[in-house]
Amino acid sequence: LCFNEVVPKGWSIRPHKTPVIASRYNIEEYGNMSPPECLITITATPDEDTIKELNYPVTMRGITSDIEKINIVLTRG
């Protein structure tokens, strides 16, 4: 997973490991009661200039798929 895009103002995205690797097992076990982990910390500052919604594309490399990117979408509450 590639976190190369510019992060919107007021948001921070920090993978806990570099490079971030999602194995086939990670993908197949997604949604189970005890899914595997791919830890990423996402924070937003309480500043009024912070964009309300984060829509951050993450490029996937090294897989065979029609999907090249996934989006992290969060709304600051």
Q: What pLDDT is stored for residue 34 in this prediction?
A: 66
**Contact indicator for 74, 53 with CB cutoff of 8 Å:** yes
Q: What pLDDT is stored for residue 76 in this prediction?
A: 80
Q: What pLDDT is stored for residue 36 in this prediction?
A: 59
Residue 20's contacts (CB-CB under 8 Å, 6 or more residues apart) are 1, 2, 3, 38, 40
Number of continuous H segments (helices) and E segments (strands) in the chain:
1, 4
pLDDT in tens for each of the 77 residues of the chain? 888 899 999 999 999 888 887 777 766 766 666 655 678 899 998 888 888 999 999 888 877 777 788 888 999 87
Residue carrying structure tokens 């992290």: 72
- Domain boundaries in the chain? 11-75
pTM above 0.75, yes or no: no
